Structure 1
Amino acid sequence: MADAQTGQVVSAMERAGVFRLGGTLVETQAFRLYGGELGFRIGFGSSAVTDDIDLASFERLSIALEDAVEEPLSKVFSQLKFAPVPSREKNKIWRWQQTDRTTLIEFLTPSFEENEGIRDLPALGVSAQSLHHLNFLIADPIQAPLLYRSGALVQIPRPERFAVHKLIVADRRRSDPSRLKARKDRKRSRDSTVGSA
């Protein structure tokens, strides 16, 4: 069951059409939903504790859909007391920080170029930070119920893709400041594949 904070935000995004338009929950919020998908309870120790809500979508899909969210996400987030976080690129907002808590919403998209710049997601009406290897993670997502009030149907990566992606990310984090995150990524990879075979 989702905590009230996450439940409010994700439910509001579902009502706006984020998941219908290709949005996929990734990172912690996806990891928390694998228990129902894999049929066992996942322990939520330090590897699952964060207030962040990360969503990813393909830029090309967002353009090809020629459709848009029911209500601008900037308005949805404003009603939930989130303020846009200024970006290095003018008028490219891809993160929102809650003004009275630490919750951070981030939008991501795969990078198919050498640099990982900011791209637009027209269907969602936001920009997104592009990242390498993200295309593998969010290809062919699955639907999962988010248990909060009347519930919300969301998209999450397949558990096996989540596991492999975490290993890729952990391998990229070889520097000392990233060792703790790399350890967390390897633990999530292991936890998201137990019972999926």
Structure 2
Amino acid sequence: MIRLLLVDDHQMVRLGLSSYFSIQEDITVIGEAEDGQQGFEIALKEKPDIILMDLVMEVMDGIESTQKILKEWPEAKIIILTSFIDDEKVFPAMEAGASGYLLKTSSAGEIAEAIRSTYNGDPYFETEVTEKILDRETTKQKVVLHDDLTNREKEVLQLISQGYSNQEIADSLFITLKTVKTHVSNILSKLQVEDRTQAAIYAFRHDLVE
């Protein structure tokens, strides 16, 4: 039996979920809280298997409550259930350590599926949330890694991608072989790749080759 704690400031939401889970054979509601502070206190006392957490609440919001619960009890599994899908809510919730993120427009069946999935160790995220996370990671890779390259290193990377040897790069850019080797080493380090081939693949994938 999956022991569930509901944390939501809307009584009708808690009532609706409790009613639905009361007819489920494998999920039982062991507690309800109307704000994040109550949720925090009940979570540490009852140690539920899953916590279903709203985000916008009085006294203490869901993000702060999630942070506090996980600080005191790192094994807790918290699924965010909210009406908000904007970046200002999604990413702070993920950074706080939430194990899942659902919208209140989800069906009761979808919420139950998320609870079971999370209980079994598989985080469950709304499709839109997953897309946001992937987009953010892609943007991070595009910006954080190659934006650190100097203009000269970018020139060297382009020549590497065109199959130039170190000596050919030196001749083309009128620099010494030793300087080329230094640039190559810096490029591999900054792009977090192991060899020239991986550096070239990175360059093509991120449209760095003219």
Common fold by TM > 0.5: no
Larger helix percent: 2
Q: Which has the larger radius of gyration?
A: 2
The structure, 1 or 2, with the larger RCO (C-alpha pairs under 8 Å, 6+ apart) is 1
Larger strand percent: 1
